[in-house]
Amino acid sequence: MLYNEFKQGKSHVVCVGSALVDILIHEKDEFLTKTGIEKGVMVYADWEKIEYLIGLSDSRVSIVPGGSACNTAIGIGRLGAKSRFVGKCGGDNMGQLIHRDLEKQNVEPFLFQSDAATGRSLSLISPDAQRSMLTFLGAAGEMQHSDLKPECFEQAAIVHVEGYLIFNVDLITNVFKMARNAGALISLDLASSNVVEQSRDSLLKLVRQYVDILIANEDEALAYAGMQDQEQCLEFMAQDATFAALKRGSRGSMIRYREKTVYADAAGSAGVVDTTGAGDLWASGFLYGLMNHRSLQECAELGSLCGYEVCLVVGASISDKSWEKIHNHVEVKWQNVK
């Protein structure tokens, strides 16, 4: 399937977002209730509060590179496309960890540096694999529209942006403008339902003006469209963007493009231990498929497989064995479908 929206000669997917380190802790729902944390959403917090919560927990702590757009960039790099991540971090050990990991995962780091500490996100993982996040942006929150350079977007076929950047309207608007000037399609993941609720008016305006690929989960789509019915939500999203994708977790996904709607099943549900990065890696598979001009069905199926495999591990890093499984899927499925 050939998507005429793509410009010839463009080879990269450029992901723009917050450069963060994920701090992962398994906790019971009672811990969330006791500490007043709303389950399943992301809120911003100062580092002192995050440290306090870590101190309250008796569970083991895991530290891995993270951030929504960063996770997507890594997934695209591991799939084999040319991937670049644009963000801002500190010159500390955590910032160096992010830089090293990106290079290891076949991603070109385009990291602006700050004297502030690298951002961290505490992810509390419930027994049902849901995660509740408290994010200290640190250096990531210092990225400004004036930091961006045309080189960030060189050879970009797609520029993928995390919705959290909407809290800095000047920054996200400049990302969109520079991506458009570079001849790239613009992809936006709505990121979190509370982000959409707090910024809906700004989001609607920006999406309608700039966005080509709009990605949301069920809660985000509901908040964006203001409707309960998912088919209506998808239709509303498709009025604003050429490609509209609605992720439905264990019930698969729905994609709409040019009056056509495609339904794809989830890749599985057994063995799920943590949903951290599931939506980000779904976006990796979907965008990789679009880059390779695969059918909407194939794009969605690859997204589902990537999203499922990351749910089998704690954190957003898919194992080498799982990446081998994903590559085998692509090799077998794509050679048989024209």
Q: Write out the H or E segment, with its range, that includes residue 238.
A: helix 230-240
Q: Of 75, 50, 38, 44, which is closest to residue 219 (Cα–Cα)?
A: 38
Q: Give the pLDDT score at 2.
A: 64
Total domains present in the chain: 1
Question: Is the residue at 4 inside a domain?
Answer: no
pLDDT range class, residue 166, cuts 50, 70, 90: very high
Whole domain around residue 132: which residue ranges? Answer: 12-336
Question: Is the residue at 205 inside a domain?
Answer: yes
> Averaged over 170-192, what is the pLDDT?
96
Is residue 337 over pLDDT 80? no
Q: Of 174, 173, 176, 166, which is closest to residue 198 (Cα–Cα)?
A: 166
Contact 224, 241 (CB under 8 A): no
**Chain centroid, CA 5 distance in Å:** 22
Question: Is the residue at 1 inside a domain?
Answer: no
Distance CA 123, CA 211 (A): 29
Give the β-pairing of 185-189 and 213-217: parallel
Question: Is the residue at 305 inside a domain?
Answer: yes
Question: Is the residue at 5 inside a domain?
Answer: no
Over residues 56-111, the pLDDT tens digits come to 999 989 888 889 999 999 999 999 999 999 999 999 999 999 999 999 999 999 99
Question: Is the residue at 2 inside a domain?
Answer: no
CATH number at residue 118: 3.40.1190.20
Over residues 125-151, the pLDDT tens digits come to 999 888 899 999 999 999 999 999 999
Question: Is the residue at 209 inside a domain?
Answer: yes
Residues 6+ away with beta carbon under 8 Å from 31: 37, 56, 57, 124
Question: Is the residue at 277 inside a domain?
Answer: yes
Q: Give the pLDDT score at 302.
A: 97
Query: What is the DSSP code string of 178-227?
Result: HHHHTT-EEEEE---HHHHHHHHHHHHHHHHHH-SEEEEEHHHHHHHHT-
Secondary structure of 79-92 in HEC code, one letter for each residue: HCCEEEEEEEEECC
